């Protein structure tokens, strides 16, 4: 108590003092008294501010992680830079048809689910743009695969893209099949502009030529997880972009 603390914290201390100095007006003092007694006796919330959480990483939840390619801070800084590039381009494209970033019904961001989920959630909060989202889902790494089995659309793309400014976002560019497929379908709807962005560009020999306008980081030809990317459905919630140790993945 010498450090000024009070058993039960600030709320109970406040309750205690109000209880002591209540004015003798029965109309107010009776219910107030009851409240203060309740405050003192029961476990009323003692803190109205969230206390700092323990670090989420490193955590025993992911012992099979071998090394980190990009930390949370590196990712966050790069996402901010990408957002600035996107805003600059959108501003230029919108100006061509006399629109601005604040105009409604002009910009549609298309995240390719599920991998782009975390990247897009972070990125769009850095975009001061009146935009809407049009989710689509493509599968190319079914189950525990670590190489592409061919891209398949799992949900229809939005059908209102004509004349709009479209930015398609994915977690990673690997063989290029996913983005090539989505791009071809969108172009059929004659958008005003179409740009592609990925958080990661894997340096892998590619037969399909897809150019991304926005790339977070280039990475070596290795299987990565975290920040939305999965292996067999897991690790998407890992906050960094990491490489699993070889025991965690069966041989290619």
Catalytic residues: 174
Q: 75-104: which residues touch ligand IMP (CB under 6 A)?
A: none
Which runs of consecutive H residues, i.e. helices, occur in the chain? 10-20, 26-41, 72-96, 117-124, 177-187
- Give the one residue of 79, 151, 166, 241 binding ligand IMP; rule: CB under 6 A: 151
CA 181 to chain centre: 24
In whole angstroms, what is the distance from residue 242 CA to residue 251 CA?
18
Which residue in this structure is represented by tokens 């201390």?
Answer: 13
Q: Which stretch binds ligand IMP (CB under 6 A): 10-18, 93-101, 123-131, 167-175?
A: 167-175
Q: Considering CB distances under 5 to 8 angstroms, the limit depending on partner class, which of ligand IMP, Mg ion, none binds residue 193?
A: none
Residue closer to Mg ion by CB (options 115, 226) is 115
- What track of x and - describes contact with ligand IMP for positions 103 through 132 (by CB under 6 A)? ---------x--x-----------------
How many Cα atoms occupy the beta-carbon half-sphere of 234 within 13 Å? 10
Q: Which stretch binds ligand IMP (CB under 6 A): 36-44, 56-64, 99-107, 176-184?
A: 176-184
Residue 39 interacting with ligand IMP (CB under 6 A): no
Helix (H, G, I), strand (E, B) or coil at 45: coil
For residue 59 the two structure tokens come to 């955590």
Residue closer to ligand IMP by CB (options 161, 227) is 227
Which residue number places its CB atom closest to Mg ion?
Answer: 115
Residue 229 interacting with ligand IMP (CB under 6 A): yes
Cα–Cα distance list, 51 to 5, 15, 44, 95, 194 (Å)? 16, 22, 16, 46, 44
- Binding footprint of ligand IMP, residue count (CB under 6 A): 21
In whole angstroms, what is the distance from residue 7 CA to residue 83 CA?
48
Residue 132 CB, shortest distance to Mg ion, in Å, is 21
- Give the one residue of 16, 217, 223, 234 binding ligand IMP; rule: CB under 6 A: 223
Which residue in this structure is represented by tokens 């409604």?
Answer: 104
In whole angstroms, what is the distance from residue 198 CA to residue 227 CA?
12
Q: Which residues bind ligand IMP (CB under 6 A)?
A: 112, 115, 140-141, 148, 151, 170-178, 202, 223-225, 229-230
């Amino acid at each position: 108590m010498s450090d000024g603390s009070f058993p039960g914290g600030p709320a109970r201390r406040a309750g205690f003092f109000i209880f002591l100095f209540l004015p003798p007006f029965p109309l107010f003092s009776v219910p107030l008294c009851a409240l203060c007694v309740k405050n003192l006796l029961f476990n009323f919330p003692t803190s109205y501010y969230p206390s700092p959480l323990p670090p989420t990483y490193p955590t025993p939840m992911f012992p099979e992680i071998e090394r980190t390619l990009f930390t949370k801070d590196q990712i966050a800084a790069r996402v901010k830079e990408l957002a600035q590039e996107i805003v600059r381009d959108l501003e230029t494209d919108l100006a061509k048809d006399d629109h601005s970033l604040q105009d409604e019904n002009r910009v549609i961001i298309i995240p390719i689910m599920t991998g782009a989920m975390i990247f897009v959630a972070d990125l769009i909060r850095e975009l001061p743009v009146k935009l809407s989202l049009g989710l689509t889902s493509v599968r190319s790494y079914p189950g525990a695969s670590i190489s592409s089995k061919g891209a398949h659309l799992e949900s229809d793309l939005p059908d209102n893209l004509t004349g709009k400014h479209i930015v398609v976002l994915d977690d990673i560019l690997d063989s290029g099949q996913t983005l090539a497929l989505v791009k071809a379908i969108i172009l059929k709807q004659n958008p005003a502009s179409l740009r592609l962005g990925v958080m990661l560009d894997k340096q892998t020999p590619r037969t399909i030529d897809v150019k991304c306008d926005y790339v977070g980081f280039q990475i070596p030809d290795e299987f990565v997880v975290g920040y939305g990317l999965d292996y067999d459905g897991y690790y998407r919630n890992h906050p960094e972009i990491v490489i699993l140790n070889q025991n965690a993945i069966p041989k290619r």
